[in-house]
Amino acid sequence: MSKRKTLSWAAAVSWMALIFFLSSQPATDSSELSSGIVEVILTAAEKVMPEVKEHIDTLHHIVRKNAHFTIYLVLGILMINALKQSFVSTCKSTIYALSISAAFASSDELHQFFVPGRGPAMTDVLIDSAGAAVGIAIFLTIRKKII
- State pLDDT tens for residues 19-76: 999 999 887 776 766 667 767 777 777 777 777 666 677 777 888 899 999 999 999 9
Q: Range of 13's domain? A: 3-146
For the chain, how many structural domains are there in total?
A: 1
Note whether 85 and 4 are within 8 A (CB): yes
**Helices marked H in the chain:** 3-23, 27-46, 56-85, 90-112, 122-146
Q: Write the CA distances from 5 to 2, 97, 103, 105, 142, integer angstroms.
A: 5, 15, 22, 23, 19
- From residue 40, alpha-carbon distances to 47, 49, 59, 93 in Å are 12, 14, 11, 38
Mean pLDDT of the residues in the chain: 89
Query: Is residue 73 a contact partner of residue 138, using CB atoms and an 8 Å limit?
Result: yes
pTM given for the model: 0.87
Q: Span 88-112, mean pLDDT?
A: 97
